C-alpha cells in the first residue's frame, strides 16, 4: 500500500518538473525541425521570404538556406542563414512571421520588420523543445502544417489549417531538436 501511495504522490511531482510543461527558449542559436507523418525532423529553411521544410540544398533557389534562429525581443525569432549547411545568401536578420486570421495566405514567412498588417512576428514561446505561438488573447497555439511544393521532398510551412483543404497537407510540430538519426529518405 505504501508503495502505491508513493507512486501516486510522485506522479504530480514528475509532471511538474517535466520539460514539456516548463516554458523555456533555447539559449544558443538553434534550428527548427518539422515532425509529422512522413516528415521525420526535416529542417526549416527560407529563400529570404517564405518558410519551407526540407533541405535547402534541394531547392533551385540560390537564396535558399537553412536557418539559424536566435530569440529576439517580444518573443520574436530572428533568422540568419546557417552557411555551414549550404550556400551563403544575401539575406540575414529576418523576423519569423505567422499569418493572422485576416491574411489570405497561410504560408509562414520572414521579413525585415517585426510589424505587418496581416502577420505576427512576436509571441513565439517554447514549451520544452516545441515551438508555439501566443496570440494577443494569450492563447497558445500550434497550428503548423506542411504542403508539398513543386520541388521534390520540399514542403511549404503553413499556419492555421482550419480552412485550408489543400490535398496532401500534413500536420507538423516544430521543435528545436534535430532528429536523433537524420534520414535522407523523407526529408
- 47 or 27: whose pLDDT is higher? 47
In the block, cell 525569432 appears at: 77
Whether the Cβ atoms of residue 65 and residue 82 lie closer than 8 Å to each other: yes
Residue 161: inside a domain, yes or no? yes
**Does 33 map to a domain?**
yes
* Structural domain includes residue 55: yes
* Residue 3 confidence (pLDDT): 38
> What is the pTM (predicted TM-score) of this model?
0.81
Which of 16, 23, 135 shows the shortest CA–CA distance to 71? 23
Instruction: Let me know: does 159 contact 173? Beta carbons within 8 Å.
Output: no
CB 71 within 8 A of CB 82: no
Q: For the domain that residue 97 is a member of, what is the CATH number?
A: 2.80.10
Could you give phi then psi for residue 176, rounded to 5 degrees? -90, 20
Residue 17 lies in a domain: no
In angstroms, the CA 171 to CA 156 distance is 12
Q: Mean of the per-residue pLDDT values for the chain?
A: 81
In a domain, 185, yes or no: no
Domain extent at residue 111: 24-175
Number of domains within the chain:
1
Q: Which three cell numbers stand for residue 28?
A: 544558443
The answer to whether position 184 is within a domain reads no
In a domain, 34, yes or no: yes
Interval 75-129: pLDDT, tens = 999 999 987 766 789 999 999 999 987 788 899 999 986 566 778 888 999 988 9
Strand, helix or coil at 52? strand
| Residue 179 CA: distances (Å) to CA of 11, 31, 63 | 28, 11, 25
Residue 19 lies in a domain: no
Amino acid at each position: 500500500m505504501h508503495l502505491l501511495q508513493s507512486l501516486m504522490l510522485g506522479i504530480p511531482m514528475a509532471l511538474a518538473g517535466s520539460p514539456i510543461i516548463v516554458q523555456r527558449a533555447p539559449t544558443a542559436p538553434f534550428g527548427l525541425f518539422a515532425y509529422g507523418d512522413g516528415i521525420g525532423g526535416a529542417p526549416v529553411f527560407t529563400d529570404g521570404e517564405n518558410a519551407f521544410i526540407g533541405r535547402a540544398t534541394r531547392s533551385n533557389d540560390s537564396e535558399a538556406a537553412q536557418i539559424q534562429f536566435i530569440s529576439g525581443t517580444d518573443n520574436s525569432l530572428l533568422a540568419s542563414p546557417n552557411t555551414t549547411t549550404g550556400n551563403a545568401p544575401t539575406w540575414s536578420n529576418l523576423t519569423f512571421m505567422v499569418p493572422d486570421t485576416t491574411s489570405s495566405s497561410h504560408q509562414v514567412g520572414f521579413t525585415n520588420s517585426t510589424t505587418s498588417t496581416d502577420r505576427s512576428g512576436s509571441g513565439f514561446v517554447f514549451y520544452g523543445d516545441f515551438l508555439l505561438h501566443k496570440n494577443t488573447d494569450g492563447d497558445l497555439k500550434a497550428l503548423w502544417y506542411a504542403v508539398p511544393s513543386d520541388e521534390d521532398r520540399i514542403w511549404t510551412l503553413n499556419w492555421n489549417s482550419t480552412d485550408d483543404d489543400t490535398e496532401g497537407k500534413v500536420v507538423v510540430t516544430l521543435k528545436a531538436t534535430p532528429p536523433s538519426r537524420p534520414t535522407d529518405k523523407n526529408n
